């Protein structure tokens, strides 16, 4: 290790960076969260070097003991990171050398910080992906519970934010479980993309030492070894995959948050958010604001910005490693942290909110949402659908002018609009019947929603089993 005030490359230079350059060039404030992965990678590397006869077994033992001591100190908040060390790798290696002497200086044999940081970041990305997968699963479970405990609640469905057709509240909640199932798959893909060992690629061209990369991969739990050293040290696709998964996941949470914000308003009144997930006003005593849902919606912009920042950082970089790659972690970490916190917040809001069933049903009776069923009835009796559409459109217009609903009409009034309407025509506008008639696979009929609920549980079970298997490795 270099002497205090010197850099690892001081032999080549006649001057060292000043305080500003050290601060500007340091990644330590961001990458120090990689400490556990850095220590795990270094221990695996030292063990391999000893097995291969590159360093003495006694040195490897001293290195491992020293690193475990440093790990304990960091986790006990008894370790001081010095910005002069530039990054987490040098901070740990410098302290290791202070503790065990020359053996610590041998740890960096057959590796570069280029493949070291790539390894640490991949290890961390895998762990972050599993944590996100757990958060997604918890939110899916909350949505499934809502659907299961409110199986018969009818609410208005919307297009263009205008009342369209009645649906079951359970159907609406399950729609989000399928979004989240896709989010889980994206996080799972990011995990698999990160599950490749780059260590052993050294700076860019590999190493002259007789290392055993497969043994290191096995010890660190990687399922594969990178096949090209140039690509290995410069590849950050796995971080893009993870950040993209977070970004699209946040977009989905933002859509759900928007609905909670609307539904909890006085104009809708479909749900009441728990006081613990609401805030008040500093001036208006009556206010109860959905601030946490609004924050989820607002934080989505951060994730979008993080993805953009990472993509722009990678754009146009020649092979292999470039200092630009130091800027890869901050946006990725921020996207992960934002998404993880937002998943927790949404699960908290959904699991504690009250569903106002009567208000939802009341909303489903307005807006002429059975109009399509009246047109369908005429179509089944031989009226061309476009003509049936026009007939019912006139009925809706008359009702709107008179301040009436379709349910207020009499059989005679319907027959006056079309002779094809019979005495049973009013059954077409019964809200429960309207819902029940949507009996195609994936539709909102009660039996179909119950079927979908089973599928959602099964999908969550499969994903949870995959997650448990990874966590048990």
pLDDT (tens digit, 9 = 90+) per residue, 359-406? Answer: 999 999 888 989 999 999 999 999 999 999 999 999 999 999 999 989
Residue 6 pLDDT? 59
Count the Cβ atoms, other than its own, within 10 Å of residue 77.
7
Mean pLDDT of 455-463: 98
Residues that are catalytic: 160, 281
Closest CA to 345 of 294, 382, 381, 421: 294
Closest CA to 369 of 115, 167, 96, 137: 167
Token pair in block for residue 5: 């005030």
Residue 351 has pLDDT above 70, yes or no: yes
Mean pLDDT of 48-70: 98
Contact 359, 272 (CB under 8 A): no
Instruction: Report the number of secondary-structure helices (H) and strands (E) in the chain.
Output: 19, 6
Using left for φ > 0, alpha for ψ between -120 and 50, and beta otherwise, residue 120 falls in alpha
Residue 14 pLDDT? 64
Question: Cα angle vertex 51, ends 45, 55, to 5°?
Answer: 70
What string of DSSP letters covers 29-47?
HHHGGGHHHHHHHHHHHHH
Provide the mean pLDDT of the chain.
Answer: 95
Of all residues in the chain, the percent with pLDDT exceeding 90 is: 89
Residue 367 pLDDT? 81
Q: What is the pTM of this model?
A: 0.92
- What the chain holds in terms of domains, given with CATH numbers, is 10-109 (1.10.275.10), 120-150+159-191+232-356+452-472 (1.20.200.10), 371-429 (1.10.40.30)
Residue 12 pLDDT? 67
What string of DSSP letters covers 61-81?
HHHHHHHHHHHHHHHTT----
Between the alpha carbon of residue 175 and those of residues 171, 179, 256, 361, the distances in Å are 6, 7, 10, 19
Closest CA to 26 of 86, 114, 80, 81: 86
Of all residues in the chain, the percent with pLDDT exceeding 70 is: 97
Residue 23 pLDDT? 86
Pairing mode of beta strands 224-225, 196-197? parallel
- Structure confidence at residue 1 as a pLDDT band (50, 70, 90): very low
Note the pLDDT tens digit of each residue in 432-451. Answer: 999 999 999 999 999 999 99
Note the pLDDT tens digit of each residue in 9-40. Answer: 566 666 677 788 888 888 999 999 999 999 99
Mean pLDDT of 190-196: 98
- Return the minimum-mean-pLDDT range out of 16-20, 122-126, 145-149, 448-452: 16-20
Strand runs labelled E in 217-328: 224-225, 271-272
């Amino acid at each position: 290790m270099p002497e205090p005030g010197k850099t690892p490359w001081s032999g080549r230079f006649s001057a060292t960076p000043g305080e500003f350059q050290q601060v500007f060039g340091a990644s330590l404030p961001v990458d120090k969260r990689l400490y556990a992965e850095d220590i795990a990678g270094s221990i695996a590397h030292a063990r391999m070097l000893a097995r291969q006869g590159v360093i003495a077994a006694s040195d490897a033992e001293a290195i491992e003991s020293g690193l475990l001591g440093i790990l304990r100190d960091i986790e006990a908040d008894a370790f001081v990171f010095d910005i002069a060390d530039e990054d987490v790798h040098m901070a740990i290696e410098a302290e290791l050398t202070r503790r065990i002497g020359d053996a610590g200086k041998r740890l960096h044999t057959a590796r570069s910080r280029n493949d070291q940081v790539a390894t640490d970041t991949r290890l961390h990305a895998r762990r972050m992906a599993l944590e996100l997968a757990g958060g997604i699963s918890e939110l899916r479970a909350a949505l499934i519970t809502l659907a299961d405990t409110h199986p018969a609640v009818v609410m208005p469905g919307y297009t263009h934010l205008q009342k369209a057709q009645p649906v079951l509240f359970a159907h609406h909640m399950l729609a989000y479980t399928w979004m989240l199932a896709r989010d889980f798959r994206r996080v799972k893909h990011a995990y698999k993309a990160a599950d490749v060992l780059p260590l052993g690629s050294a700076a860019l061209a590999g190493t002259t030492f007789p290392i055993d990369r497969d043994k290191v991969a096995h010890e660190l739990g990687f399922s594969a070894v990178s096949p090209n050293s140039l690509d290995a040290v410069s590849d950050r696709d796995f971080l893009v995959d993870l950040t993209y998964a977070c970004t699209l996941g946040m977009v989905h949470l933002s859509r759900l948050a928007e609905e909670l914000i609307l539904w909890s308003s006085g104009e809708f009144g479909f749900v009441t958010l728990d006081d613990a997930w609401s805030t008040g006003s500093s001036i208006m005593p009556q206010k109860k604001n959905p601030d946490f849902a609004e924050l989820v919606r607002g934080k989505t912009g951060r994730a979008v910005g993080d993805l953009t920042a990472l993509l722009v950082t990678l754009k146009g970089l020649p092979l292999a490693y470039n200092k630009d790659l130091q800027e890869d972690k901050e946006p990725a970490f921020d996207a992960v942290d934002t998404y993880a916190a937002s998943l927790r917040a949404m699960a908290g809001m959904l699991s504690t909110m009250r569903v106002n069933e009567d208000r939802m049903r009341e909303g489903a009776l307005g807006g002429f949402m059975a109009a399509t069923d009246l047109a369908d009835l005429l179509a089944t009796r031989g009226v061309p659908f476009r003509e049936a559409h026009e007939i019912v459109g006139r009925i809706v217009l008359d009702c709107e002018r008179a301040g009436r609903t379709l349910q207020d009409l009499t059989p005679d009034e319907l027959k006056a609009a079309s002779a094809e309407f019979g005495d049973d025509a009013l059954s077409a506008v019964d809200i429960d019947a309207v819902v029940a008639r949507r009996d195609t696979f994936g539709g909102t009929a009660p039996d179909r929603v119950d079927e979908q609920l089973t599928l959602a549980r099964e999908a969550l079970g499969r994903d949870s089993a995959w997650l448990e298997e990874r966590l048990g490795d």
